């Protein structure tokens, strides 16, 4: 499985920053020695400033030369590979250019993940949505087809990653789409839950999580195949997704997800709960 491009961009940036500081160069001094602008150096060292940027391989090589990294050395080869990996990503295809910045953001961090642990309260996450549900949720946008195409492309991750999602009941008991679309969506949820790599859990309102700690917002925790690639958490808030990168904070969210998953219904009981909702909905149509 190809590595996550953003994880590799982070590792490249950390290595370049370490090398520059180790050599005692300021941004301006490194620019003078390498010919690479200070703006480019800053973006490479801090990929969070432009998440998903594609590093210019030639400029990375110029920096490595200026930082006295021997060509052909293990370090050169490693950092060159990071730069190449950081430039990959299915979402760079023109077909997905108009899928929306928020969705592109999600695609960047989930690409190539080995494990995805998600919690959602009011709405169904994009990785679970049927085409019909996604299309109705996007109505009113000028790029509906692109949004739906991007959402379906993102769902390819469910073929390879372990996906564990915890849903509040209102995520499917409240129907933001027509009844027939929601009914199809509920059946899709149950079907997904039968996959060996997918777990769908319902967190009942009266669930006992313990310690009085409950999620304040939807969040997703990503783990990548290479243990050296740093884990990351995205938190959904009013202004868009927030990235959590501090190892201690990421570990806190991982622990929170484990606790809410432990307090939620089992896979089988969750499927039964969702089927009951579907039966009630079917009786009204």
* pLDDT per residue as tens digits for the range 202-216: 999 887 777 667 888
The confidence band for 63, taking pLDDT boundaries of 50, 70 and 90, is very high
Q: What CA–CA distance (Å, rounded) separates 94 from 90?
A: 10
Q: What CA–CA distance (Å, rounded) separates 276 from 266?
A: 15
3-state secondary structure the chain: CCCCHHHHHHHHHHHHHHHHHHHCCCHHHHHHHHCCCHHHHHHHHCHHHHCCCCCCHHHHHHHHHHCCCCCCCHHHHHHHHHHHHHCCCHHHCHHHCCCCHHHHHHHHHHCCCCEEEEEECCCCCHHHCCHHHHHHHHCCCCCHHHHHHHHHHHHHHHHCCEEEEEECCHHHHCCCCCHHHHHHHHHHHHHHHCCCCEEEEECCCCCCCCCCCCCCCCEEEEECCCCCCCCEEEEEECCEEEEECCHHHHHHHHHHHHHHHHHCCCHHHHHHHHHHHHHHHHHHC
C-beta separation of 77 from 36 below 8 A:
no
**Token pair for 241:** 């997704």
**Token pair for 215:** 């999620």
Instruction: Give the model's pLDDT for residue 134.
Output: 95
Flag whether pLDDT at 198 surpasses 90: yes
Instruction: Give the model's pLDDT for residue 112.
Output: 94
Tens digits of residue pLDDT in 67-125: 999 999 999 999 999 999 999 999 999 999 999 988 999 999 999 999 999 999 888 99
- Centre a 10 Å sphere on the Cβ of residue 213 and count the other Cβ atoms it contains: 12
Instruction: Give the model's pLDDT for residue 51.
Output: 87
Flag whether pLDDT at 126 surpasses 80: yes
Instruction: Give the model's pLDDT for residue 247.
Output: 95
If you average pLDDT over every residue of the chain, what do you get?
Answer: 93
**Token pair for 152:** 């379906």
Tens digits of residue pLDDT in 221-238: 999 999 999 999 999 876
Tell whether the torsion through CA atoms of 41, 47, 49 and 54 is positive or negative.
positive
> 201: number of CA atoms within 13 Å, CB side?
21
C-beta separation of 193 from 200 below 8 A:
yes
Q: What CA–CA distance (Å, rounded) separates 37 from 149?
A: 37
Instruction: Give the model's pLDDT for residue 102.
Output: 86
Instruction: Give the model's pLDDT for residue 181.
Output: 96
Instruction: Give the model's pLDDT for residue 212.
Output: 63
Q: What CA–CA distance (Å, rounded) separates 44 from 15?
A: 10
More confident site: 2 or 136:
136
Residue range 167-183: mean pLDDT, rounded? 92
Q: Which residues contact 55 (CB under 8 A, 6 or more apart)?
A: 9, 12, 44, 83, 86, 87
């Amino acid at each position: 499985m190809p590595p996550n491009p953003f994880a590799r961009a982070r590792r490249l940036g950390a290595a370049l920053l370490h090398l520059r500081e180790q050599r005692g160069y300021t941004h301006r001094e490194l620019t003078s020695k390498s010919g690479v602008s200070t703006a480019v150096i800053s973006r490479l060292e801090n990929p969070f400033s432009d998440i998903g940027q594609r590093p210019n391989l030639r400029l990375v090589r110029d920096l490595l030369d200026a930082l006295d990294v021997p060509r052909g050395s293990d370090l050169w080869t490693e950092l060159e590979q990071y730069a190449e990996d950081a430039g990959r990503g299915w979402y760079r295809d023109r077909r997905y250019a108009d899928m929306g910045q928020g969705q592109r953001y999600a695609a960047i961090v989930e690409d190539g993940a080995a494990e995805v642990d998600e919690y959602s309260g009011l709405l169904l996450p994009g990785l679970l949505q049927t085409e019909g549900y996604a299309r109705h949720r996007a109505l009113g946008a000028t790029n509906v087809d692109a949004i739906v195409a991007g959402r379906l492309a993102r769902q390819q991750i469910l073929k390879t990653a372990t996906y564990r999602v915890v849903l509040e009941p209102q995520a499917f008991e409240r129907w933001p789409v027509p009844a027939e679309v929601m009914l199809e969506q509920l059946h899709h949820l149950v079907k997904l839950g039968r996959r060996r790599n997918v777990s769908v859990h319902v967190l009942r309102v009266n669930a006992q999580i313990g310690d009085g700690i409950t999620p304040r917002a939807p969040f997703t925790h990503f783990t990548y195949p290479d243990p050296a690639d740093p884990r990351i958490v995205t938190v959904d808030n009013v202004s868009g997704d927030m990235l959590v990168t501090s190892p201690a904070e990421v570990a806190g969210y991982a622990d929170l997800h484990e606790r809410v998953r432990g307090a939620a219904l089992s896979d089988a009981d969750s499927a039964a709960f969702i089927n009951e909702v579907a039966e009630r909905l079917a009786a009204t149509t």
